[in-house]
Structure 1
Amino acid sequence: MASEVVRPSDAELLQAQADIWRLSLSYLTPLSLKCAVVLGIPRAIYRHGGAASAAELITALSLPSAKLPFLRRLLRLLAASGVFTVDRQSTEEERYRISPVSYLLVEGIPHEDHMNHTSFVLTCTSSRYIEPAIGLAEWFRKDTATSPFEELHGATLFHESMGSLDADFHDMASDALDTHDNFGVEMALREFRDLFEGIQSMTYCCGNFGDDKGARAIAKAFPHIKCTVLAPPKIIAAKPADGVKINYVEGDMFSFIPPAQTVVLKVLDGFGDCRGSRPQPQWHPRPSMPGTLPWTCRVRRSDEPSIHLRPLRRRPRCSRSGRQTIQQQGGAGQARAV
């Protein structure tokens, strides 16, 4: 059979070569971000009034002066990636300013909504996280059903087995998970406040790797809602005594969910903690993506008798605005994630 592959044009081949360069070298961007976080560049720029030149950063970070030209290259790469903004003036050296991205990499900012994301960056760029991807081709050749991470390390991410293997990495990854799960909850509650105004009762399902911080934020913002948290014993034992009115119920959402007008499911890693002896669910929610709400909602009719988990007929999708929103449909007391 004659080949049906048509030779690309010269322009397409030149563009393809550029794309190969870009794809092959794109790892330099996250590793450069890691370098900036480890050196403390976002913090140094923030403490310098929000803007600093490379020479000023050399002094502030106590780096050897011989590294100045290399630091300039690093800053230019990160500025091109949106980590910093840059002021270019003909008479002065370029000054790099804090952008929204680097703002999230500064610890100690006195704002109630601020969460430092350095643990997220350091987890995703750690050798433990990257090495499974380096050996991905070899993993595909093995007749195994375990993930590349588990196959290489013999432990599960966010699980106690990882804590036994590498306690420092486990603590950092857990902090990154906490940041991913809970950042933006208060902002979402402000933006979607009208969604919660008519709700009288809510069951918040944490899952084995989640926490109750989202539920506590909802209960604090909307004290009229009767909030029940379905959680494992470790979360119930660690509940803070801050006066927020929440009823805790120990249990597993794959077996039972306390009845309520609204059920909030924290979705993480495709429910990777449902392996083993637990029955596989018949529905498959996607993990929340960066920039979206870290949980999905389903509002049931108050007269529905079932108190067991009901399958969602559609997977949650991200709207074009990059947020996961709730849209009323059907009748009173019903909603779907879109």
Structure 2
Amino acid sequence: MAPQAPPAIKVPKDAELLQAQADLWRHSLYYLTSMGLRCAIKLGIPTAIHRLGGFASLPDLITALSLPKSKTPFLGRLMRVLVTSGVFASADNNNDELFRLTPRSSILVDGVEADEHYSQTSFVLAATSRHYAEAALGLADWFKKDIVGPVPSPFEDVHGATLFDESTAALDEELDELVNEGLAAHDNLGIGTILRECHDLFKGLDSLTDCCGGDGTTARAIAKAHPHVKCTVLDLPKVIEKAPVDGVVNYVAGDLFHSVPHSQAVMLKLVLHHWSDDDCVKILSQCRSAIPSREEGGKVIIIEIVVGPSMGPIMYEAQLLMDMLMLVNTRGRQRAEKDWRELFMKAGFSDCKIVKKMGARGVFEVYP
């Protein structure tokens, strides 16, 4: 059959044409907002505003950050973009513009000792690093490659290294540190909310294993809120050897692909999205083997992003962007509720329920 000529293109009307061009500007240049955010963190702007009492003028910031006065107008242009994107807020005070923190920038303040404050600066710096950007730039070439066997991520394809692996440190030690710090901060943020909103999640448990629990921050929070629960953290030896020994949490060095310590409940918090479906089934199977029957209180607690539009367009966009982050940098993905349920059943579990949806995340109880 002879190829058909493509249909005539429909030229947008004047207003649509101009709007389309402006929209393409926005989408093409969004990376400059990301780089502006990175710049603000590298300069220490959120922390400076906090230390200045929560409000700061441009001259205040120039002085506090030890920047040349000649850069004042340029700093103003950077702040204007970040105010427009909601990172900071501003108000006039006797014709002097003052900048203040918003919830977005408050979690970018470093050096603060406060319950539930987990600075997200490392996450942002890793996400805006040249290594992540180079992996994303290689996305089109990656799609064109016909690969036999497990498909490596674009990050692996470009850099020859895997995130959260010794190969990351060999690639760039600073990136490896940022990635691990960012992962810990990302995972620990919100545990207080979960404990308050899902108090019954840990009720009646006598023991719990937190898989990939890092330094035990989450496990210690659970033990503090529920002293009757004996908490164990399972993580790789290189992580466990740096964990604090305080007697509150028991630490076990190991690999969740091979063995999970026996306990009444096992928790996987923002772990599975890094892995393929096949790998998730292997992990979940180990978790199922580590717990007693449902009648004896056995369950796996899963805390993960649940992709879906129910939380509104902004949260949905954030979930989809996090899925793109997984696509570019790992072999995992973010999943919808249906995908999660299918995965649990494939791993041999009998039932599951969503205890609560909070922001982009959902809290599952999965039963053997």
Interval of TM-score (by shorter of Structure 1 and Structure 2): 0.7 to 0.9
Q: Normalising to structure 1: TM-score of the pair? A: 0.77
Q: Note if contact 1:270-1:284 (Cα within 8 Å) is conserved in structure 2.
A: no
Match in the other structure for 1:151: 157
SS in 2 for 1:67: helix
Q: Where does structure 2 lack aligned partners over 5 or more consecutive residues?
A: 285-290, 301-345
Match in the other structure for 2:359: 322
Alpha-carbon separation, structure 2, partners of 1:220 and 1:305 = 21
- 2:50 alignment partner AA: Y
Match in the other structure for 1:218: 222
- 1:192 alignment partner AA: C
- 2:212 alignment partner AA: C
> Structure 1's 76 and 198: CA in aligned 2 closer, same or farther, altered over 3 A?
same
> Structure 1's 107 and 197: CA in aligned 2 closer, same or farther, altered over 3 A?
same
SS in 1 for 2:294: coil
> Cα RMSD (Å) of the superposition?
3.5
SS in 2 for 1:21: helix
Instruction: Say whether residues 1:171 and 2:177 are aligned partners.
Output: yes
Larger fraction in helix: 2
Instruction: Say whether residues 1:99 and 2:109 are aligned partners.
Output: no
Q: Where does structure 1 lack aligned partners over 5 or more consecutive residues?
A: 286-297, 328-334
SS in 1 for 2:295: coil
1:14-163 matches, cutoff 5 A: 14-89=18-93, 91-144=94-147, 145-163=151-169
Alpha-carbon separation, structure 2, partners of 1:116 and 1:62 = 23
**Structure 1 residue 260 displacement after superposition:** 3.6
- 2:128 alignment partner AA: T
1:184-195 matches, cutoff 5 A: 184-195=190-201
Alpha-carbon separation, structure 1, partners of 2:273 and 2:352 = 11
SS in 1 for 2:74: helix
Q: Which has the higher contact order (CA 8 A, sep 6+)?
A: 2
- 2:207 alignment partner AA: S
- 1:133 alignment partner AA: A
Alpha-carbon separation, structure 1, partners of 2:9 and 2:351 = 40
Q: Note if contact 1:39-1:61 (Cα within 8 Å) is conserved in structure 2.
A: yes
**Structure 1 residue 141 displacement after superposition:** 2.5
Alpha-carbon separation, structure 1, partners of 2:80 and 2:185 = 28
Question: In terms of mean alpha carbon deviation, does 165-174 or 56-65 score higher?
Answer: 56-65
Q: Normalising to structure 2: TM-score of the pair? A: 0.72
- 2:91 alignment partner AA: D
> Structure 1's 71 and 235: CA in aligned 2 closer, same or farther, altered over 3 A?
closer
Larger fraction in strand: 2
The C-alpha deviation readout for 1:221-251, integer Å capped at 9, x for no partner, is: 21111334444434444442212153x5555
Alpha-carbon separation, structure 1, partners of 2:282 and 2:349 = 6
Question: In terms of mean alpha carbon deviation, does 198-207 or 55-64 score higher?
Answer: 198-207
The C-alpha deviation readout for 1:73-116, integer Å capped at 9, x for no partner, is: 11111011111110124x32211011122211111223122122
Identity level (%): 46
**Structure 1 residue 173 displacement after superposition:** 1.4
Alpha-carbon separation, structure 2, partners of 1:44 and 1:223 = 38
1:5-20 matches, cutoff 5 A: 7=10, 9-10=12-13, 11-20=15-24
**Structure 1 residue 120 displacement after superposition:** 1.3
1:230-241 matches, cutoff 5 A: 230-241=234-245
> Structure 1's 172 and 181: CA in aligned 2 closer, same or farther, altered over 3 A?
same
Q: Note if contact 1:42-1:102 (Cα within 8 Å) is conserved in structure 2.
A: yes
SS in 1 for 2:113: coil
Question: In terms of mean alpha carbon deviation, does 311-320 or 68-77 score higher?
Answer: 311-320
SS in 1 for 2:359: coil
Q: How many residues align?
A: 309
